[in-house]
Structures are given as C-alpha cells and as structure tokens.
C-alpha cells in the first residue's frame, strides 16, 4: 500500500461546552501518565492539548458518524501536497 503525506490546516469553531469537555478529558489523562494518549504529546501545554482534543473530536465526527455536525464547525481547510 502506497501512502502520501499531506499537511492540512483546519480553522474550526467550538463551543464553551466542547472546550470544557476537552479540558476535563485532558485533566483526566494527566492522572494516567503511561497511557498511549501521551505518545507524541510530551512538552505540550494544556491549551495545546485541549485544542487538539477538540479538533480530534470534530474530525472524528466528520469521518465517522456525523458529517453535518462536523461540517458546521470546520470553517476552512488549507492543504499542501508537499509536507
């Protein structure tokens, strides 16, 4: 299987409730430092982790079960084939 690398930047919107749920998730993950969740996240601030969690949830909904819901949060997407 051939794979390609593409760098993509999303501009998203999120609600206070989504922010609070993502913050609670990150706080819970802090209690479990050996989980797979932490791979590649060393040195990131709580703000970065919270925004990544929000984006992950929005994009997961886009690809899996709720394209309409995700679509209203994704305001813009820019991509570059040479990443």
Using DSSP's 3-state secondary structure scheme, residue 69 falls into helix
pLDDT-derived band at 65, boundaries 50, 70, 90: low
pLDDT tens, 10-54? 888 888 998 999 999 999 999 998 999 889 898 999 999 999 999
- Distance between CA 27 and CA 36 in Å, rounded? 15
| pLDDT at position 46 | 93
Using DSSP's 3-state secondary structure scheme, residue 16 falls into helix
Place of tokens 């609600």: 15
Domain definitions of the chain by residue range: 7-80
Helix 46-63 with 16-30: angle, nearest 10 deg: 110
| pLDDT at position 75 | 72
Q: For residue 22, how many other CB atoms are within 10 A of its CB?
A: 20
pLDDT-derived band at 76, boundaries 50, 70, 90: confident
| pLDDT at position 26 | 94
């Amino acid at each position: 299987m051939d794979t390609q690398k593409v760098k993509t930047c999303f501009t998203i919107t999120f609600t206070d409730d989504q922010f609070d749920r993502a913050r609670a998730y990150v706080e819970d993950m802090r209690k479990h430092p050996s989980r797979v969740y932490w791979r590649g996240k060393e040195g990131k601030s709580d703000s970065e982790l919270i925004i990544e969690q929000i984006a992950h949830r929005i994009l997961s909904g886009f690809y899996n079960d709720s394209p309409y819901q995700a679509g209203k949060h994704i305001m813009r997407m820019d991509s570059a084939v040479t990443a």
